Amino acid sequence: MILSGTEIRRRLSKEPLPGELVIRPYSTASQQPASYDLRAGETRVLVRGKCTLIPTLEWVELPGDLAGTLRCRSSFGRRGVLLGGGFVDPGFRGQLTLCLTNCGDEDIPVQKDDRIVQLVLHEISGGEMVYRGRYQDSNGVVEAR
């Protein structure tokens, strides 16, 4: 089941405990009916024909019963931007590194705070495993390890 915007807001508490959903800094302008728009953490140019790594502004923590799918916002997709990767495991915490490839005809500037990808949250039933990988607690752009 996909979480609604109402359910996402309900799960975001002011003082989260370990194992609760965290999106910070949270912006009401980024909240969508069935997703949350993650913002660019720094200003970059998506050079035509190149893959550019950009960190999200938001620090995200997913509890064990949620996973996330990342989707490029349609306003960027219409200009030829493709998002590489796009799954966030239960238990992940940190800033996400976005792999954005510009297949369009021109360079595309991205400003810090631009809403660039959608995070769709899915409930996991019966899951017991959580992410404990090498990208845990990522801060800023993290190259492939």
As averages over each run of 10 residues, the pLDDT of the chain (145 residues) reads 96 83 97 98 98 97 96 96 94 97 97 98 88 88 82
Helix (H, G, I), strand (E, B) or coil at 44: strand
Give the per-residue pLDDT at 112: 98
Give the per-residue pLDDT at 129: 85
Give the per-residue pLDDT at 145: 66
Nearest to 83 by CA among 101, 97, 68: 101
Nearest to 71 by CA among 103, 41, 105, 115: 115
Give the per-residue pLDDT at 109: 98
Domain at 53, CATH number: 2.70.40.10
Question: How many structural domains is the chain composed of?
Answer: 1
**What's the domain range around 119?**
5-123
Give the per-residue pLDDT at 78: 96
Residue 44 forms part of a structural domain: yes
- Token pair recorded at residue 118: 């959608």
